[in-house]
């Protein structure tokens, strides 16, 4: 067969180029990045696809399945329970919190955010991540990027520093209504100056606290005058779960609480995220246990044993994360 020489050269070039590309960058599904972090292990390129939608909490998917901790990383249930009160919300991959990003130091995190929320634009902010050299992926609308329009996708890429962080929408009041999730960056335990204070640092032991309303936050700002006043959340959720006491009848919703499993005699690292969108303080305590605070806002601190932890999302917009072993 006759093949023009130029074409042959061109074909060779494509083959060489392609193999080089696939060699240097191999994206792995984000869930594969949730692993114990070992010194000297090559970093991974952790890929996540987020699809944001207007969705329903307590909707028909909840007749089919109940979310549990296996649903933390992937969209395999699509039932969002919140506090048992049916309402619409913004979801990521029909999850709230969104998919749990949990990686190791030096990993590269790649997130494609596809906005499918009708008539809304958005950006995603990776709270606490320094973005050194990737400032344009900080997710601040009209400062570091144009917002993601409905039906379009924006790719964020970063190499985050170790610590307990979270992500949330940085547009309007969307983060009140479900657009947030864990962002945990582990390092080999021996590199943590407080690493001797805990035995286990498990992916399931993340406590994300959100304030919750029974309507979209935009209905509360500027607020109503004759009924349903105030802008405080009426409930708190842990990892999107909680219960609600109906003030009219005093009965309680049958939605599940978040459950963390521990064994007696072991020391666990818990990673707490105050993801409130409003400036209310949250006091967290563990019945019958003390906690030792070992890090806050992504920085290790001198350990301190406490009965309770008060954290603020903060008027200043500074949200908190705390690590403790208990």
Under the rule (CB under 6 A), what is the footprint of ligand NAG?
84, 244, 246, 249, 251, 253
Pick what 249 binds: Cu ion, ligand NAG, none; C-beta below 5 to 8 Å, kind-dependent.
ligand NAG
Burial 233-265 (b: 16+ CB within 10 A, else e): bebebbbbbbbbeeeeeeeebebeebebeeeee
Separation between Cα atoms, residue 275 and residue 270, nearest integer Å: 15
Least Å from the CB of residue 319 to Cu ion: 5
Which tokens in the block code for residue 89?
A: 């919300």
Sketch the per residue contact string, 71 through 110, with Cu ion: x for CB under 5 A, - otherwise: ----------------------------------------
**Per CB under 5 A, which region of 67-75, 183-191, 264-272, 311-319 contacts Cu ion?**
311-319
127 binds Cu ion (CB under 5 A): yes
Helix (H) / strand (E) element for 23: namely helix 5-24
Least Å from the CB of residue 258 to Cu ion: 22
Which tokens in the block code for residue 211?
A: 């304030």
319 binds Cu ion (CB under 5 A): yes
Least Å from the CB of residue 139 to ligand NAG: 36
Separation between Cα atoms, residue 116 and residue 98, nearest integer Å: 15
Q: Indicate the residue among 154 and 212 with the shorter CB distance to ligand NAG.
A: 212
Q: Indicate the residue among 79 and 206 with the shorter CB distance to ligand NAG.
A: 79
Task: Dump the DSSP string for 243-291.
Answer: --B-TTT--B--PPPP-----TT--BEEEEEE--SSS-EEEEE-TT--E
Separation between Cα atoms, residue 220 and residue 105, nearest integer Å: 40
Please, how many CA atoms are within 13 Å of residue 135, restricted to the half-sphere of its CB? Answer: 3
Q: Indicate the residue among 49 and 243 with the shorter CB distance to ligand NAG.
A: 243
Residue position matching structure tokens 């802008």: 231
Least Å from the CB of residue 275 to ligand NAG: 24
Least Å from the CB of residue 172 to ligand NAG: 29
Least Å from the CB of residue 80 to Cu ion: 22
Name the 3-class secondary structure at 127. Answer: strand
How many residues bind to Cu ion according to rule CB under 5 A? 2
Q: Indicate the residue among 82 and 131 with the shorter CB distance to ligand NAG.
A: 82
Pick what 251 binds: Cu ion, ligand NAG, none; C-beta below 5 to 8 Å, kind-dependent.
ligand NAG
Separation between Cα atoms, residue 317 and residue 129, nearest integer Å: 15
Pick what 302 binds: ligand NAG, Cu ion, none; C-beta below 5 to 8 Å, kind-dependent.
none
Pick what 46 binds: ligand NAG, Cu ion, none; C-beta below 5 to 8 Å, kind-dependent.
none
Provide the pairing of β-strand 45-57 with 27-29: parallel
Strands (E), the chain: 27-29, 45-57, 87-92, 101-104, 108-115, 124-127, 153-158, 163-169, 180-186, 206-212, 235-238, 269-274, 281-285, 291-296, 299-306, 308-312, 320-325
**Per CB under 5 A, which region of 120-128, 132-140, 195-203, 284-292 contacts Cu ion?**
120-128
Least Å from the CB of residue 208 to ligand NAG: 23
Least Å from the CB of residue 57 to ligand NAG: 13
Pick what 127 binds: Cu ion, ligand NAG, none; C-beta below 5 to 8 Å, kind-dependent.
Cu ion
Rounded-to-10 torsion of CA 211, 212, 217, 220: -90
> Site residues (CB under 5 A) for Cu ion?
127, 319
């Amino acid at each position: 067969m006759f093949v023009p020489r130029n074409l042959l050269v061109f074909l060779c070039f494509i083959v060489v180029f392609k193999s080089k590309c696939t060699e240097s960058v191999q994206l792995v599904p984000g869930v594969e990045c949730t692993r114990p972090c070992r010194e000297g292990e090559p970093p991974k390129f952790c890929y996540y696809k987020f699809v944001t939608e207007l969705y329903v909490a307590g909707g028909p998917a909840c007749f089919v399945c109940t979310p549990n901790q296996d649903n933390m990383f992937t969209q395999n249930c699509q039932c969002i329970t919140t506090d048992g009160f049916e309402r619409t919300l913004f979801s990521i991959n029909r999850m709230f919190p969104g998919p749990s990003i949990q990686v190791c130091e030096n990993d590269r995190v790649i997130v494609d955010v596809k906005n499918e929320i009708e008539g809304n634009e958005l950006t995603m902010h990776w709270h606490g991540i320094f973005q050194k050299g990737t400032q344009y992926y900080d997710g601040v609308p009209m400062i570091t990027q144009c917002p993601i329009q409905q039906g379009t996708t924006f790719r964020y890429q970063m190499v985050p520093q170790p610590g307990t962080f979270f992500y949330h929408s940085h547009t309007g009041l969307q983060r009140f209504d479900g657009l947030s999730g864990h962002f945990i960056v582990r390092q080999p335990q021996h590199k943590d100056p407080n690493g001797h204070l805990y035995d286990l640092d498990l992916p399931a032991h993340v406590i994300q606290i959100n304030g919750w309303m029974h309507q979209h936050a935009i209905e509360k700002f500027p607020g109503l005058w004759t009924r349903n006043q105030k802008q405080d959340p009426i409930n708190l959720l842990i990892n999107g779960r909680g219960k609600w006491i109906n003030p009219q009848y005093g009965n309680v919703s049958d939605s599940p609480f978040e459950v963390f499993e521990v064994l007696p005699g072991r020391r666990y690292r818990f990673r707490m995220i105050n993801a409130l969108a409003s400036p209310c303080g949250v006091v967290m305590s563990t019945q019958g246990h003390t906690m030792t605070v070992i890090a806050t806002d992504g920085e290790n601190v001198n350990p301190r044993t406490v009965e309770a932890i008060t954290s603020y999302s903060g008027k200043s917009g500074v949200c908190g994360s705390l690590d403790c072993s208990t």
